[in-house]
Amino acid sequence: MLTVSVSVAAGVAAITSALPEWHFNRVEVALAVVFLLMLGNLRGIRESGRMFSLPTYFFVVSLLVLIAVGAWRMLTGTVEPVGAIDPITPAGEPLTLFLLLTAFSNGCTAMTGVEAVSNGVPAFKHPEAKNASATMLMMAILSIAMFIGITLLARAYQVVPSTLETVVSQIARGVFGGRGTAYLLVQGATMLILVLAANTAYADFPRLASILARDRYLPRQLMNQGDRLAFSNGIIGLSAFAGLLLVLYGGDTHALIPLYMIGVFVSFTLSQAGMVARWRRLRGPGWKTSAAVNGFGAVVTGIVLVVVAITKAHEGAWIILVLIPVHVCFFRVTKRHYDIVASQLSLETWTDTLPRRTHTVIVPISGVHRAVVQAIEYARALSVDVRAVYVNMEPTLAEHLQRDWDRWGQGVALVVLDSPYRSLMEPLLAYIEQVEAERPGGFVTVVLPEFVPAKWWHHVFHNQRALLIKGALLFRPHVAVTSVPFHLWH
Q: Is 37 exposed, middle or buried (CB count within 10 Å of its CB: 0-12, 13-18, 19+)?
A: buried
Question: E strand or H helix at 206, and its extent?
Answer: helix 181-214
What top-level class would CATH report for the domain 359-487? alpha beta
pLDDT digits (tens, 9 = 90+) for 209-230: 889 999 999 998 888 776 666 7
Question: E strand or H helix at 448, and its extent?
Answer: strand 443-452
Residue 485's CB is within 10 A of a number of other CB atoms, namely 14
Terminal CA-CA length for the chain: 46
**Cis amide prior to 127 (ω within 30 degrees):** yes
Q: What is the DSSP string of 336-385?
A: HHHHHHHHHH-STT----PPP--EEEEEEESS-SHHHHHHHHHHHHH-SE
Lowest mean pLDDT among 61-75, 387-401, 437-451: 387-401
Residue 112's CB is within 10 A of a number of other CB atoms, namely 19
Cα separations in angstroms, 143 against 110, 114, 148, 197, 322: 8, 10, 8, 15, 32
Cα separations in angstroms, 144 against 118, 132, 260: 19, 18, 21
* Predicted confidence band of residue 163 (pLDDT cuts 50, 70, 90): confident
* Predicted confidence band of residue 439 (pLDDT cuts 50, 70, 90): confident
- The answer to whether 261 touches 312, Cβ cutoff 8 Å, is yes
In whole angstroms, give the CA distance from residue 467 to residue 215: 34
pLDDT at residue 401 in the model? 85
Phi and psi at residue 157, in whole multiples of 5°?
-90, 10
pLDDT digits (tens, 9 = 90+) for 15-58: 888 888 887 888 999 999 999 989 888 877 655 456 667 888 89
Going from N- to C-terminal start, the domains of the chain cover: 2-103+119-251, 256-353, 359-487
Three-class SS of residue 87? Answer: strand
- The answer to whether 321 touches 313, Cβ cutoff 8 Å, is yes
Report the predicted TM-score, pTM, of the whole model to 2 decimal places: 0.72
DSSP annotation of 461 reads: G
Closest residue by Cα to residue 465 from 367, 340, 337: 367
Q: In this structure, what is the dihedral angle of CA atoms 86, 92, 95, 99, given to the nearest 10 degrees?
A: -60
Phi and psi at residue 379, in whole multiples of 5°?
-65, -35
pLDDT at residue 364 in the model? 92
- The answer to whether 149 touches 159, Cβ cutoff 8 Å, is no
pLDDT at residue 200 in the model? 80
Detail the DSSP E strand segments found in 81-227. Answer: none
Q: Which residues of 438-458 are buried (b: 16+ CB within 10 A; e: fewer)?
A: eeeebbbbbbbbbbeeeeeee
pLDDT at residue 185 in the model? 93
In whole angstroms, give the CA distance from residue 301 to residue 450: 62
In whole angstroms, give the CA distance from residue 487 to residue 490: 9
Question: E strand or H helix at 287, and its extent?
Answer: helix 287-312
Average pLDDT of every residue of the chain:
85
Helix crossing, 2-18 with 232-248: angle to 10°? 50
Q: ∠ at Cα 391 (386, 392), nearest 5°? A: 130
Cα separations in angstroms, 147 against 39, 78, 153: 34, 22, 10
Tell me the average pLDDT across 101-115: 73
